[in-house]
Structure 1
Amino acid sequence: MASRGVSLKAKGKSSKGKASEEKTACECLKEWTTWTMRKAKVVTHYGFIPLIIIIGMNSDPKPQLSQLLSPV
């Protein structure tokens, strides 16, 4: 009888896993930049108005908080 060879190659996603683990410097920089910009967007979104209030309260004619928040 003829013996049949058994293939030991990995199939499917496991063979692609090694390729995704090896990242180039450009890809790492791109990931880091994207992560940083997302965090900066959140900080800017939630920190802008409190920053304006703090700057307004430290100005020369010291307004009260109600004066800063009123639309008039």
Structure 2
Amino acid sequence: MASRVSSKGKGKAARGSRGSGGRWTGRCVKEWSTWAMKKAKVITHYGFIPLIIIIGMNSKPKPQLSQLLSPV
């Protein structure tokens, strides 16, 4: 008689194949969060001073741009 081949795997390969979806999701989330943090760092770096100037220009006494930029 011919021997039957089992469709179920044995050992580590069978256990690892079930959890591979979770690893892929975790890796995707990690890459996305890293990408988002890099973009947020650049936006914060280049956008902070213009934001302060815009907030200062929209305040009640309405200072001129030269008054906002001067340290005195």
TM value normalised by structure 1: 0.68
Runs of 4+ in 1 over 4 A off after TM superposition: none
The 1-side partners of 2:26 and 2:56 are apart by 42
User: Could you say what the CA RMSD is over the residues aligned between the two structures, in angstroms?
Assistant: 1.3
Structure 1 residue 26, shift from structure 2 partner: 0.4
Give the length in aligned residue pairs.
51
Aligned counterparts, 1:17-36, within 5 A: 24-36=24-36
1:38-61 deviation per Cα after TM superposition (whole angstroms, max 9, x unaligned):
000000000000000000000000
Give, in whole Å, the separation in 2 of the partners of 1:24 and 1:62: 53
After superposition, what is the alpha-carbon deviation per residue over 1:12-47, rounded to whole angstroms, capped at 9, x for unaligned? xxxxxxxxxx86100000000000000000000000
Matching residue of 1:38: 38
* Ranges in structure 2 where 5+ consecutive residues have no aligned partner: 1-20
1:57 & 1:35 partners in 2: Cα distance? 33
SS in structure 1 at match of 2:60: coil
TM-score (norm 2): 0.68
Higher helix residue share: 2
Identical aligned residues as a percent: 76
